[in-house]
Structure 1
């Protein structure tokens, strides 16, 4: 293994000079030409820094702990973790991931275990967007919340802009010429649960998306009709409720809380001889590939930025750990633009993905 001493001998400088250059502390201390020569020699010799030695020297291990409640059981966990991993890798960090299944005692144990690995900070991920009370055991290490906000306002966080989701979806249907736009929310037996326990009578995201729907209608000078707004769970009760809405109000546009609920609109339209994308327009939320790509025609949907939340949250955490903006990170091409790292409680404007479930007024 190549050492700093070998690089120093090859370049004719001191070991301390090599150390300054390879640890990124050469600005103003080492002439640019010499620094360039040291880096080139290190690259040619295949130099790799010793993580253990570096951690002893800097008191940093470059390891981050990723803790989730029940997100590993959701279809979106992979994208969230992948975004965090990609960002960590781009900054020279490693990610250790644990899932607590919502068990408080297990969570406490896992946090303690990660601290034994001397992690530099934590990413704390929620299974759905909500206000949470993160455990005090995360302290004193820097922590960033993913898809959730801190009830006590202590920690940085990132969530989707839920209000804008409902607003953008409704505006798209207004622009498509829809005259009567319904909102299909989440309700019935589908209530927010953590570890199997109901924690609220509605999803916070549902409340905000519904308000975005109402605000878009109001901005367009449309009257709002409470009878066009329903909350459904799944299976037969949901199908019956959407079917009843079709017969009572005959809406020609639907904003759905998620892609799964759009399926009931498709089925009810087919039962009435109506064509999605011509007679009835539908916008979902999630970009759930098993739904949005499977339905015919393909569903226009708002993409939930799980990858982006994981990526931004990791960059934010590193910026807190290193007390700097990580401008050397390779920013990926993402569907939704990443917020500025100067934000503490960031919201992502989610991208609406055009497919074929919204009518074209020109046709």
Structure 2
């Protein structure tokens, strides 16, 4: 195993200088030319850091905990966890993911991670909702993912829900739609409220009056299909903005029953870019992609910035579908989602 002493000897510097450089504490202490030389020699010799020794010196384990309820069992978990893992790896941390069953075992899982000396936690929800912080996570570095702290104190990241509704509705307006329906969710979560507000704002900006008859808040299965059927019969929309891709399926089904062609007779936009719906519906569904990778990546980066009291100014940000907000964004940090053009909106 290559040691710092060997690197120091070859570089002609002290072991303490090598330690500063390889532990990324050289800024302002070691000349750039010397630091670059030390890193080059360490790489050439195949130096590997010792995490245990490092944790004993610094009091940090470089472990981040990812606590989720339901997230790990959804199709979107992969993107969110991958984003967090990618950022953690880039910053020299390891991510441990734990899926809970709610409050009944949440505290146990958190305490188990704490026994490993976890430096900080990501706390994730689905469908962007208000969250109350578990007692076990108080007084520890913490960032929420796809959720907002009810107390408004904990850093968090979420999709820009207002812009989702605004951008989708504006796209339908630009396509020439005159009667744009909103097929929303039953639960008054943050995502529903924001998307509805964006829908109304885009209509108002285009001098199109809001019509409550063009709005249906639906759940799932037969009642949802019946509600969308009624929307077709009573309001006769020519454009649909749907809370998610799953609800867009009901619009496709109702259009088919009436012999209407999606993308020609009516236009439809969903949210999620869900592989099952967005890619298999015919024509393929134009949709707003939720930034799961981006939220995971930003949240892990923010968490490390809190742990290390650093702005991460030198960090290289990845190319992402949606632009990442600044690390010092106000609470909550909002990501402007990208509308993915496919075939369900007429041109």
**Which whole-Å CA distance do the structure 2 matches of 1:213 and 1:86 have between them?**
34
* Structure 1 residues 63 and 206: CA distance shift in structure 2, 3 A: same
CA contact (8 A) 1:183 1:230 kept: yes
CA contact (8 A) 2:263 2:283 kept: yes
**Which whole-Å CA distance do the structure 2 matches of 1:264 and 1:105 have between them?**
36
SS in 1 for 2:249: helix
Task: Report the TM-score, using the length of structure 2 for normalisation.
Answer: 0.96
SS in 2 for 1:146: strand
Matches within 5 A, 1:336-355: 336-343=322-329, 344-355=331-342
SS in 2 for 1:209: helix
**Which whole-Å CA distance do the structure 2 matches of 1:32 and 1:205 have between them?**
47
Q: Matched residue pairs, number?
A: 346
**Which whole-Å CA distance do the structure 2 matches of 1:92 and 1:304 have between them?**
27
SS in 1 for 2:184: strand
Per mean C-alpha deviation after superposition, the further-off stretch among 78-87 and 39-48 is 39-48
CA contact (8 A) 1:167 1:215 kept: yes
Task: Report the TM-score, using the length of structure 1 for normalisation.
Answer: 0.92
Per mean C-alpha deviation after superposition, the further-off stretch among 316-325 and 70-79 is 70-79
SS in 2 for 1:255: strand
Matches within 5 A, 1:97-246: 97-102=97-102, 104-187=103-186, 191=187, 202-246=188-232
1:259 corresponds to 2:245: yes
**Which whole-Å CA distance do the structure 1 matches of 2:33 and 2:316 have between them?**
25
1:268, distance to aligned residue in structure 2 (A): 1.3
**Which whole-Å CA distance do the structure 2 matches of 1:105 and 1:181 have between them?**
43
Alignment equivalent of 1:276, drawn from 256, 262, 265: 262
* Structure 1 residues 30 and 186: CA distance shift in structure 2, 3 A: closer
CA contact (8 A) 1:91 1:328 kept: no
Unaligned runs of 5+ in 2: none
1:203, distance to aligned residue in structure 2 (A): 2.8
1:139, distance to aligned residue in structure 2 (A): 2.5
1:297, distance to aligned residue in structure 2 (A): 0.4
Corresponding residue for 1:289? Answer: 275
Corresponding residue for 1:24? Answer: 24
Matches within 5 A, 1:62-77: 62-77=62-77
1:56, distance to aligned residue in structure 2 (A): 0.8
* Structure 1 residues 32 and 309: CA distance shift in structure 2, 3 A: closer
Corresponding residue for 1:195? Answer: none
